[in-house]
């Protein structure tokens, strides 16, 4: 199968939606409460998925521009995941019950979809690693992968 820009966008959207599904399973099936930074990463995954799905249907030039916007969302998500890792490395700092959580929980999306976007955990909570990596580490890995793929789509030379 040939790797095309559209395939990269659709695969990225599929993986982002799958990661949101995993987050829901961990939250509701394993009772792992999302902190404000987790919820912000969920927003980034959702934004990437929506941008990629929309961009995949556009003409080539607009598709590349959409990939560029998706790249910005992936880099933003990577920054949030990096900050989350910093907070976890410095347990004296917490983003727990603070103005960030209050503000996030007042977003219309948090009120309409609280099962996905409501923050009610602490950023410093240590959950068991998955294959040796913490949840924000996995998020950072995925944001990096998405950044590479979306950067390829946005900046590859035209044929």
The CATH number of whichever domain residue 109 belongs to comes to 1.20.1550.10
Q: 69-106 burial string, b = 16+ CB within 10 Å, else e? A: bbbebbbbbbebbebbbebbeeeeebbbeeebbeebbe
Tell me the whole-structure pTM to 2 decimals: 0.89
pLDDT at 126: 79
Residues of the chain whose pLDDT is less than 50? none
Number of domains in the chain: 1
Domain that holds residue 131: 5-155
pLDDT at 98: 64
pLDDT at 35: 87
pLDDT at 18: 98
pLDDT at 108: 86
């Amino acid at each position: 199968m040939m790797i095309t820009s559209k395939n990269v966008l659709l695969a990225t959207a599929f993986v982002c939606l799958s990661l949101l599904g995993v987050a829901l399973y961990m939250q509701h099936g394993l009772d792992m409460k999302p902190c404000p930074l987790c919820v912000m990463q969920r927003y980034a995954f959702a934004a990437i998925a929506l941008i990629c799905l929309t961009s995949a249907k556009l003409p080539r030039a607009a598709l590349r521009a959409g990939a560029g916007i998706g790249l910005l969302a992936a880099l933003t998500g990577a920054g949030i995941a990096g900050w989350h890792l910093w907070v976890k490395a410095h347990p004296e700092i917490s983003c727990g019950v603070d103005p960030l959580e209050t503000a996030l929980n007042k977003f219309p999306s948090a009120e309409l979809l609280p099962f996905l976007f409501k923050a009610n955990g602490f950023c410093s909570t240590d959950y068991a690693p998955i294959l040796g990596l913490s949840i924000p580490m996995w998020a950072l890995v995925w944001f990096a992968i998405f950044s590479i793929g979306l950067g390829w789509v946005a900046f590859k030379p035209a044929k």
